[in-house]
Structure 1
Amino acid sequence: MKNQIKIALVDDHLLVRNGIKSLLEEEEDMLVIAEGANGLEAIEIVKEYKPDILIVDERMPEMNGIEAVGRLQNTPSNTKAIVLSMHDSEQYILESIKAGASGYLLKDTDKKEFIKAIHTVYNGEKYFSGDISNVIVSNYLQNTTTSSKKEESTQEPDPYGLTKKEKLILLHILSGKTNSEISEILQNSKRTVETHRFNLMKKMNVKNLMELSSKAAQYNLNPS
């Protein structure tokens, strides 16, 4: 059997935890190793059990999930966090990303997407469900436009010379979208998206998504 992904579940509703646990137990490569009911417990669980993935509810008593994720960034932990929420509002999404979450899933997400999100985050990438990535990209582009108008003379230049389309595709890639999904969102052919993807990776001199994410973050090209 291949290595199992060790998962910690933190949600203040026992029924929700049981439901998610039952879903994950159907996967041979996933193992729930700890459970908790609030943000404080989430922090202690990560310190003690060192799970690969922390699935944490956004709203809980004592300490919410977003705050817990933020505090975990100050600990020597390799655990990656996925925030579960009932809200698809821009505020909650961006707060989660700013706190350091690698994923954000709505609670009505189906099993297929839930499992895909865990695998994606486990492999060092980011995953945001449904139309959430569009909110991220929209916010990022809006902030970029505003900043360019206010601080055009002091803005650090793009060291790779990416085109606007390449930057937009980069943001979708970092949000966990496939070439086919990006093609549908941008209404371009899959071949066109693949060409832009090849060109931007060549310009940035990277060979895989982990290198791409690292360089994007270094030069503030990452949506997070």
Structure 2
Amino acid sequence: MSEQKIRIVLADDHVLVRDGIRALLEDQEDLEVIDEASDGREALRILENKTPDLLIVDIRMPELNGIEVVKIIKKQGHPVKTLVLSMHDSEEYVLQSVEAGADGYLLKGSSKEEFLKALHTVHSGGKYFSGDVSSILIQNFVSKPKSPAVAAEDKFSLTKRERQILSHVLEGKSNKQIAEELDISKRTAEVHRFNLMKKLKVKNLIELANKAKEHGLSQ
């Protein structure tokens, strides 16, 4: 039985670029391009109807740029992995992509070998940032100390959704109210609350509030 292929959607406003990437990818036995988009909104429409493993998105596109597309995808909780393609290795673009939640940032001048390595790294759950981009990230995050809240989130391994749940819980909202506000099921809200309290090692709301305040999570 053959291995399941990595399903990919390409988003770039230049047809020639898409054609070139498609040709490169489809030359690989384990990769399959299932759709293409010429702008950010089209990419989001495709993701409403299809479930690719990976979205390769150009940073500069009409309608919505690549960073905006990644930000929306992550906010919606879509499971697709995202690799941003760019001609620019400027610190601003790199950091904006990372903050939006991109799983990788690759320069368009990268070699075929590096491109394929980036795809497989991101697909397998890793992060990939090419050459000069990596040094920008290291310099930025080493030189800037994390805020107490961010450090606490890392310490307790809180997900973005758990951070959202925590915020609502600390406002005194019920599971039903949280579910309605975040457009999730009541059961999902209950599970997130349970995981949250387990990670912070607390037994009740009072302990949760005190611990959140102690570690700067209630700000």
Q: How many pairs were matched up?
A: 154
Structure 1 segments (4+ residues) deviating >6 Å = none
Contact 1:10 1:35 in 2 (8 A): yes
Aligned to 2:83: 82
Aligned to 1:125: 126
Q: Deviations over 1:119-141 (max 9, x none)?
A: 00000000001121111010001
Contact 1:39 1:68 in 2 (8 A): yes
Aligned to 2:52: 51
Contact 1:10 1:39 in 2 (8 A): yes
Using the TM superposition, give the Cα deviation of residue 76 of structure 1 relative to its aligned residue in structure 2, in angstroms. 3.7
Aligned to 1:38: 39
Q: Take 1:46 and 1:83, find their aligned partners in 2: how far apart are those partners?
A: 16
TM-score (norm 1): 0.65
Q: Take 2:155 and 2:108, find their aligned partners in 1: how far apart are those partners?
A: 39
Q: Give the letter aligned to residue 33 of structure 2.
A: V
Aligned to 1:63: 64
TM-score (norm 2): 0.66
Q: Take 2:48 and 2:59, find their aligned partners in 1: how far apart are those partners?
A: 19
Aligned to 1:26: 27
Q: Take 1:47 and 1:110, find their aligned partners in 2: how far apart are those partners?
A: 32
Aligned to 2:17: 16
Unpaired segments ≥5 residues, structure 2: 157-219
Partner SS, residue 94 of structure 1: helix
Q: Take 1:134 and 1:122, find their aligned partners in 2: how far apart are those partners?
A: 22
TM-align CA RMSD = 2.2
Q: Take 2:93 and 2:117, find their aligned partners in 1: how far apart are those partners?
A: 22
Q: Deviations over 1:176-221 (max 9, x none)?
A: xxxxxxxxxxxxxxxxxxxxxxxxxxxxxxxxxxxxxxxxxxxxxx
Q: Take 2:141 and 2:122, find their aligned partners in 1: how far apart are those partners?
A: 21
Aligned to 1:96: 97
Unpaired segments ≥5 residues, structure 1: 161-224
Using the TM superposition, give the Cα deviation of residue 74 of structure 1 relative to its aligned residue in structure 2, in angstroms. 2.0
The yes-or-no answer on 1:113 pairing with 2:114 is yes
Report the identity percentage.
Answer: 51
Larger radius of gyration: 2
Contact 1:47 1:77 in 2 (8 A): no
Q: Deviations over 1:80-109 (max 9, x none)?
A: 100000100110000001111000000001
| Residue correspondence of structure 1 range 204-215 to structure 2 within 5 A | none
Aligned to 2:144: 143
